[in-house]
Amino acid sequence: MVSIVGVSGSLRRHSFNGGLLRAAAKAVPAGVTLTTASIAGVPLYNADDEAANGIPAAVAALKDAIAAADGVLLVTPEYNNGIPGVFKNAIDWASRPADDTGRVFGGKPVAVIGASPGGFGTLLAQDSWLSVLRTLGTRPWFEGRLLVSRAGAAFDADGNLTDDTVAERLRGFLAGFAAFVERNGQ
């Protein structure tokens, strides 16, 4: 059984990326589980707070979920042509303390998908994640790409995926990523 944890980089209740993650959890192939982890409650990173109080509970839960999974699916919005600050902040926290980064991320298969109202999907945000994933020592999957552009037409008002073509592409993407995780997971 392959276990994947999915993390949406949006805090908005009806976000396109939250909906894409929910759709992914339902679209994984047989023999694969996709659970979700949340970045809600992760405070802004401050080394003084870390030194005084340690790792916050929301961060510890995120770290444990990532460490326990065979693979990670990052579902990223794109803000101003890059990674949303709230999402990058959560992953920065998950890499703390530095000597725990290998346990959480080291060699972990990772894939990145995303949805955006714009015409280019989340192309620039996905590309921006690559240097972060390299630094964390992950094993990114490069054989597939899923960019949902003009997401307002692919999701309903509650953030649920309604576009059958995108759903089919998502199933194919997940099958490819799951096979990669199975070949390369820990």
Domain count, the chain: 1
Quick one: pLDDT at residue 32?
97
Q: Region 104-109: what's the mean pLDDT?
A: 97
Cα gap 118→113, rounded to integer Å: 15
Quick one: pLDDT at residue 76?
98
| Domain encompassing residue 99 | 2-184
CATH code assigned at 94: 3.40.50.360
Quick one: pLDDT at residue 64?
98
This prediction's pTM = 0.96
- Burial (CB count within 10 angstroms: exposed 0-12, middle 13-18, buried 19+), residue 183: exposed
Cα gap 1→10, rounded to integer Å: 28
Q: Are 173 and 148 in contact (CB under 8 A)?
A: no
Cα gap 27→177, rounded to integer Å: 12
Handedness of CA 173, 178, 184, 186 (dihedral sign): positive
* Region for residue 6 given its phi and psi (left: phi exceeds 0; alpha: psi -120 to 50; beta: otherwise): beta
Confidence of residue 174 (pLDDT cuts 50, 70, 90): very high
